[in-house]
Chains A and B, each alone.
Chain A
Amino acid sequence: MNARGMRLVVASFTALCVVACATSQSGFRPLGSAFPAKPADFTVEVFESGAPTRPFERIARLDAHYEKTHLLHTSRDTGMADLRKQARAAGADAIIEVREMRSRVGETYILHITGIGIRYQDTSH
């Protein structure tokens, strides 16, 4: 194989790794009625523990899932940013009951973050 062929093989392998060594899946499931999405610049509150004192309604289950091979980790910040994005898409004001799960299959590191999107019932604040 000449140098050009070798470069092509290396480039193809690199492209394959970039495209196929990591996957992410994010989404939300409405728990009842669907609500219109919040704007992209809306700030979603996150309650890592406890819940807001204002009256609220649980409206969606939120999920962000990442798998990376080559022993690469996904940061919690990446997962939380995605969870906020899902919350906005679900029309949620805030996220409660956040759970982070990490596991490993061989050289694949898995991160899953889930939470419950809520909507404030009292909008006077």
Chain B
Amino acid sequence: MNQKRIVGRVAAGLAVLFVAAAPVALAARYDGVTVSFDKPVEQVQKAAVDALTTVGVEIKKQEPTVVEGKRKNKVGLMVGSGGEILTVTLTSLEPGKTQAKVRTTKTFVGRAGQKVWDQPVLEEMAKVLGVSPPVVAAEAAAE
């Protein structure tokens, strides 16, 4: 009887550990989308500001190599939407070439109605810069 109770508790503990660790595992797999543009970092930064604005981001941080903001939360009948934090990090690879990493971070409030905005942001950045949309490898689910 005592042994059964211990096995049950171990099983319950493992289940809790598995559920708790799952988002961590997904988070480790997803690290945004990285592409490069044949444009100087100043131009790509302005394109990032415009692109984030286009998807409804309220810009909170606007630095030469980092642009970040949050989409406002909306209350819906079922799930609502918004609350995602979007970050664009820029690295100057060489004069006239910039690497851009776009990352969507889902937040706790309204998580069910949140989505990954990386691709729409990159497409808009390409439009603003007047270049072809960058090819992006398959992306994992954002956590």
Residues of A within 8 A of B (CB): 16-17, 20-23, 25, 27, 29, 61, 63, 65, 67-70, 101, 103, 105-108, 110, 112, 114
What's the nearest-Cβ distance from chain A to residue B91, in Å?
A: 23
* Inter-chain contacts of A27 with B (CB < 8 A): 53
* Inter-chain contacts of A61 with B (CB < 8 A): 50
Asked if residues B75 and A16 are in contact (CB atoms below 8 Å), the reply is yes
Q: Please, how many angstroms separate the alpha-carbon atoms of A102 and B81 in the complex?
A: 15
Known: A20-B74, A105-B115, A107-B77. Is A67-B53 also a contact (CB below 8 A)?
Answer: no
Q: Please, how many angstroms separate the alpha-carbon atoms of A70 and B113 in the complex?
A: 13
Asked if residues A70 and B54 are in contact (CB atoms below 8 Å), the reply is no
Known: A23-B82, A29-B49. Is A106-B54 also a contact (CB below 8 A)?
Answer: no
Asked if residues A20 and B75 are in contact (CB atoms below 8 Å), the reply is yes
Give the dominant DSSP class at B's interface: loop
* Inter-chain contacts of A103 with B (CB < 8 A): 120
Asked if residues A20 and B58 are in contact (CB atoms below 8 Å), the reply is no
* Inter-chain contacts of B81 with A (CB < 8 A): 67, 69, 105-108
* Inter-chain contacts of B53 with A (CB < 8 A): 25, 27, 63, 65
What's the nearest-Cβ distance from chain A to residue B141, in Å?
A: 15
Q: Please, how many angstroms separate the alpha-carbon atoms of A101 and B82 in the complex?
A: 17
| Residue total for B at the interface (Cβ-Cβ under 8 A) | 22
Tell which of B46, B50, B74, B79 touches A21, judged by Cβ atoms closer than 8 Å.
B74
* Inter-chain contacts of A105 with B (CB < 8 A): 81, 113, 115
What is the chain A residue whose CB lies nearest that of B46? A29
B29 in the interface (beta carbon within 8 A): no
Known: A20-B74, A21-B75, A108-B113. Is A67-B54 also a contact (CB below 8 A)?
Answer: no
What is the chain B residue whose CB lies nearest that of A113? B54
Interface centre among A21, A67, A105, A107 (most CB of B within 10 A): A105
B9 in the interface (beta carbon within 8 A): no
Q: Please, how many angstroms separate the alpha-carbon atoms of A65 and B58 in the complex?
A: 11
Known: A105-B81, A105-B115, A107-B79. Is A23-B54 also a contact (CB below 8 A)?
Answer: no
Asked if residues B82 and A67 are in contact (CB atoms below 8 Å), the reply is yes
